[in-house]
Amino acid sequence: MSGRGVAARVGRGGSFAIVGVAYLTALGAGWAVAEAAGGDRPVLALGLGYLASALVIYVWSTALDNGSMFDAWWSVLPPFAAVWLAVQHADGVPGLRIALVLGVVWVWAIRLTSNWARDWPGLDHEDWRYLEMYANGPKALVSLFGVHLFPCLVVFLGSLAMVPALVWGTDPVGVLDVVATGLGLVAVVIEFVADEQMRRFRRAKTPGQVMDRGLWAWSRHPNYFGELCFWWALWLFALAADAAWWWTVVGPMAMTAMFCAASIPMLDRRSQERRPEFAAYAARTSALVPRPPRRG
């Protein structure tokens, strides 16, 4: 039965219950696979755990014919992965750094997951971006690689910074940890404010109107800017823990590339098609990094 058929039977509350069961199975699979890979190989364990959990959600998505089953994965898996990594920590890893990283990751995860839950209408809904992607090839393969495994890979790359920060890095806690903590928490605040401003706008807007107030007057995608700040903050924790792990910068770089090359262009193109005022708004407003709007 499709997600829409299930939703018609169980409603929004029942849809949440199904998603909850799906994610419990995904978390269980990911944790078990990570344990099997071993705490002495945290990078491999992290990658395999993420892969196992993503494949479990793919099975659920396929069974319910709804790729949006995966939407919450982005913010549900990393905090539990962080806990698993923290449990594996070696002797000499500062406990204060572990607490700071776990705090930032869990605050980010709770905020982002709750934001998804507030707006998710249920299994009768599927993200329009997925529907566009399905037109480019066999749906099962597009869903597997485009909707599930590609984001899984990007989040894995972003999460690599947690390995030195939580498992191996023994450098003492210092100024860079403070900067990382501050940036991570500011990132959460930016996302929260941007999402709340957009939520209020959507409740009151008229069709075709452009959101150009608050943070959205300075950036067309301030929520994405906040999200990227979070992943860069994780990388700063890695540097603070052990500078030899500088190469984990591949994580926030991959995140930045994905948002700039895929997510932002897709949303801007859709807004251009649906909102006559969007072209003028885009001409005066930064795509990502907030700055005062251009005059003229």
Burial status of residue 282 (CB atoms within 10 A of its CB: 0-12, 13-18, 19 or more) = middle
CA atoms of 204 and 222, how far apart (whole Å): 20
- The count of other CB atoms within 10 Å of the CB of residue 142 is 17
- Residue whose tokens read 């990502």: 288
Show pLDDT as tens, one digit a residue, over the chain (296 residues). 555 566 557 788 899 999 999 999 999 999 999 999 998 999 999 999 999 999 999 999 999 999 999 999 999 999 999 999 999 999 999 999 999 999 999 999 999 999 999 989 899 889 889 999 999 889 999 999 999 999 999 999 999 999 999 999 999 999 999 999 999 999 999 999 999 999 999 888 677 789 999 999 999 999 999 999 999 999 999 999 999 999 999 999 999 999 999 999 999 999 999 888 999 999 999 999 999 998 76
Question: In what helix (H) or strand (E) does residue 219 lie, and over which residues does it extend?
Answer: none
Structure tokens at 178: 């403070």
- Position 4 scores a pLDDT of 55
Nearest Cα residue to 210 out of 274, 260, 269: 274
Eight-state DSSP code of residue 213? S
Structure tokens at 17: 């219950």
**pTM exceeds cut of 0.85:** yes
CA atoms of 90 and 285, how far apart (whole Å): 47
CA atoms of 46 and 101, how far apart (whole Å): 16
CA atoms of 12 and 123, how far apart (whole Å): 7
- Residue whose tokens read 């992290």: 46
